[in-house]
Chain A
Amino acid sequence: MNDTALSIDNVDKFYGPVDYGVHAVKRLSMEVKKGEIIALLGSSGCGKTSTLRMIAGFEPVSRGTISLGSRQVQTLPPVRRNVAMAFEGYSLYPPLTVRENIGFALKASKLSQAVVDEKVASIAKLLEIEDILGRYPSSISGGQQQRASLGRALIRDAALHLLDEPMGQLEPQLRAVLRGRIKHYIKERGLTAILVTHDQTEANALADRIAVMEGGVLQQFDTPKKIKERPANLFTGTFVGEPPMNVFEASVSGSGTGIRFGLKDGVHLDYHTSDFSHPVREALLKRQKVVLGVRPYAVRRSADGVTGRVAVNQWLGDQTHIAADFAGGTMVLVEHDRTSLEIGQPIGIRLEPSSLHVFDSESGNAISHGEELA
Chain B
Amino acid sequence: MTTLQLKNIVKRYKSQTVLDDLSLEVADGERLVLFGPSGSGKTVLLRLIAGVIDPDEGRVLIGGEDMTAVDAEHRGVGMAFQNFALFPHMSAFDNIASALTSRKSSKEAIAGGVQKVAKLLKIDHVLSHHPKALSNGQKQRTALARALVGSPPLLLLDDPLRNVDAKLRFEMRLELPRLLAAQGATVIYVTQDYKEAMALGDRIAVMAEGRIRQIGTPAEIYNSPADIEIARLFGDPTINLLDVVPQRGPDGAFVELSGVRVRLPGFGAEIVGKECVLGLRPETIAFTEASTLGAVPVTVEAETPLNEKTVTLALTARGREILVSRPAGTPGPTAGPAHIAVNGRAAFLFDRASGQRIRPSEVTSKRNGEAA
Binding site for B on A (CB under 8 A): 43, 172-177, 179-181, 183-184, 187, 199-201, 204-206, 224-225, 228, 241-244, 296-297, 311-312, 314-319, 321, 323, 330, 332, 334, 336, 338
Determine if A176 and B173 form an interchain contact, defined as CB atoms under 8 angstroms apart. Answer: no
Q: 19 A–B contact pairs at CB < 8 A?
A: A177-B237, A179-B304, A179-B311, A180-B313, A180-B323, A181-B302, A187-B302, A199-B166, A204-B307, A205-B306, A225-B305, A244-B167, A244-B170, A297-B308, A312-B178, A314-B199, A316-B199, A321-B174, A332-B174
A residues in contact with B202, CB < 8 Å: none
Question: Which of A177, A242, A297 has the largest number of chain B CB atoms within 10 A?
Answer: A177
Indicate if B209 sits at the interface (CB-CB under 8 A).
no
Query: Contact string, B288-328, partner A, CB cutoff 8 A, digits 1/0?
Result: 00000000000001101111110111000000010101011
CB distance from A141 to the nearest CB of B (A): 12
Instruction: Report the Cα distance A208→B181, complex, angstroms.
Output: 44
Indicate if B232 sits at the interface (CB-CB under 8 A).
yes
A residues in contact with B112, CB < 8 Å: none
Interface residues on B, range: 35 or more
Determine if B308 and A180 form an interchain contact, defined as CB atoms under 8 angstroms apart. Answer: no
Instruction: Report the Cα distance A326→B171, complex, angstroms.
Output: 16
Determine if A181 and B301 form an interchain contact, defined as CB atoms under 8 angstroms apart. Answer: yes
| Known contacts A172-B238, A176-B238, A177-B313, A334 near B219 by CB under 8 Å | no
- Secondary structure type dominating chain B contacts: mixed
Query: Contact string, B240-279, partner A, CB cutoff 8 A, digits 1/0?
Result: 0000000000000000000000000000000000000000
Within 8 A of A (CB), among B21-62: none
Give the residue name and chain of the B residue nearest to A198 (CB): B165
A residues in contact with B235, CB < 8 Å: 317-318
Determine if A204 and B306 form an interchain contact, defined as CB atoms under 8 angstroms apart. Answer: yes
Partner of A43 from the list B165, B170, B222, B237 (CB cut-off 8 Å) is: B165
Indicate if B347 sits at the interface (CB-CB under 8 A).
no
Indicate if B198 sits at the interface (CB-CB under 8 A).
yes
Give the residue name and chain of the B residue nearest to A225 (CB): B305
B residues in contact with A201, CB < 8 Å: 306-307
Partner of A177 from the list B166, B200, B323 (CB cut-off 8 Å) is: B323
Within 8 A of A (CB), among B96-117: none
Determine if A336 and B327 form an interchain contact, defined as CB atoms under 8 angstroms apart. Answer: yes
Top 3 A-B pairs, shortest CB-CB distance: A180-B313, A176-B237, A205-B304
Give the residue name and chain of the A residue nearest to B218 (CB): A315
| Known contacts A205-B304, A332-B174, A173 near B238 by CB under 8 Å | yes
CB distance from A206 to the nearest CB of B (A): 7
Give the residue name and chain of the A residue nearest to B197 (CB): A316
Q: A176-B238, A314-B177 are in contact. List 11 more A-B contacts (CB 8 A).
A: A176-B236, A176-B237, A180-B301, A184-B302, A205-B304, A242-B166, A297-B308, A311-B178, A317-B222, A317-B234, A338-B219
| Known contacts A184-B302, A315-B218, A323-B174, A334 near B198 by CB under 8 Å | no
B residues in contact with A43, CB < 8 Å: 165
Give the residue name and chain of the A residue nearest to B165 (CB): A43
Within 8 A of A (CB), among B181-207: 195, 198-200
Determine if B311 and A204 form an interchain contact, defined as CB atoms under 8 angstroms apart. Answer: no
CB distance from B315 to the nearest CB of A (A): 9
CB distance from B329 to the nearest CB of A (A): 8
CB distance from B237 to the nearest CB of A (A): 3
Instruction: Report the Cα distance A139→B306, complex, angstroms.
Output: 34
B residues in contact with A172, CB < 8 Å: 236, 238
Determine if A176 and B308 form an interchain contact, defined as CB atoms under 8 angstroms apart. Answer: no
Determine if B311 and A180 form an interchain contact, defined as CB atoms under 8 angstroms apart. Answer: yes
Partner of B238 from the list A177, A183, A205 (CB cut-off 8 Å) is: A177
A residues in contact with B304, CB < 8 Å: 176, 179-180, 183, 204-206
Instruction: Report the Cα distance A201→B237, complex, angstroms.
Output: 12
A residues in contact with B233, CB < 8 Å: 173
CB distance from B363 to the nearest CB of A (A): 25
Indicate if B351 sits at the interface (CB-CB under 8 A).
no
Give the residue name and chain of the A residue nearest to B192 (CB): A172
Instruction: Report the Cα distance A64→B237, complex, angstroms.
Output: 42
Query: Contact string, B341-359, partner A, CB cutoff 8 A, digits 1/0?
Result: 0000000000000000000
Instruction: Report the Cα distance A323→B232, complex, angstroms.
Output: 28
Partner of B325 from the list A181, A242, A312, A318 (CB cut-off 8 Å) is: A318
B residues in contact with A175, CB < 8 Å: 237
Instruction: Report the Cα distance A296→B170, complex, angstroms.
Output: 13
Determine if A205 and B311 form an interchain contact, defined as CB atoms under 8 angstroms apart. Answer: yes
Determine if A318 and B283 form an interchain contact, defined as CB atoms under 8 angstroms apart. Answer: yes
Instruction: Report the Cα distance A315→B200, complex, angstroms.
Output: 10
Give the residue name and chain of the B residue nearest to A323 (CB): B174
